[in-house]
Amino acid sequence: MNEQMLFKDVYCNQLIFDNIQLSDRYKVLDIGLNSRHEVQLNALVDEYERKGDSETVAHLKAQNALLPLYRKELKKVLLEYLQWMRAMKKDYTFQKVIETQKDLNDTDGFDWLESTELAIDKRKFLLNRMFVKQPIPQEEN
């Protein structure tokens, strides 16, 4: 298989992560980077547009100008994700979902995506416990 290609799962319309180019796997971290520096990015875009650049060119110039900041921030965002993943591995609910996923994978021959979706569905009662209704006070003084 060509590593450059993105393969779509026909059954559930999900990207199969194993076949995504390595640099594309890190694009999920862009969300953290862009949200943290959105104000700076927008200010630079506005500045470049005032100087006569088109919106597209202004956006690209602003991203290039923030590149050193993005590179530095990427290390922080990646550390946060790794800490989160480490904490998840110790979480009881996560452990049960993964245990179920592995059982489905081994015994029923499901692929990773199918077994993961089924495991999440089978363990939804554990996931639902994470969100409970908040009591609403009778009157607020």
Q: What is the pLDDT along the chain (141 residues), one digit of tens a residue?
A: 333 333 333 333 334 444 445 456 666 666 666 677 889 989 999 999 999 999 999 999 998 998 898 888 888 888 888 898 899 999 999 999 999 999 998 888 888 999 999 999 999 999 999 888 888 888 866
Query: Buried b vs exposed e over 94-131: b needs ≥16 C-beta within 10 Å?
Result: beebbebbeebbeeeebeebbbbbbbeeebeebeeeee
Question: Which residue type sits at 20?
Answer: I
Residues 105 and 69 in one domain: no
Residues 66 and 96 in one domain: no
Residues 67 and 124 in one domain: no
Domain hosting 69: range is 10-79
> Is residue 63 in some structural domain?
yes
| Tokens describing residue 31 | 């969300």
> Is residue 4 in some structural domain?
no
Q: Specify the number of domains making up the chain.
A: 2
* Partners of 15 in beta bridges: 8
> Is residue 15 in some structural domain?
yes
Residues 15 and 70 in one domain: yes
Quote the pTM value. 0.57
> Is residue 86 in some structural domain?
no
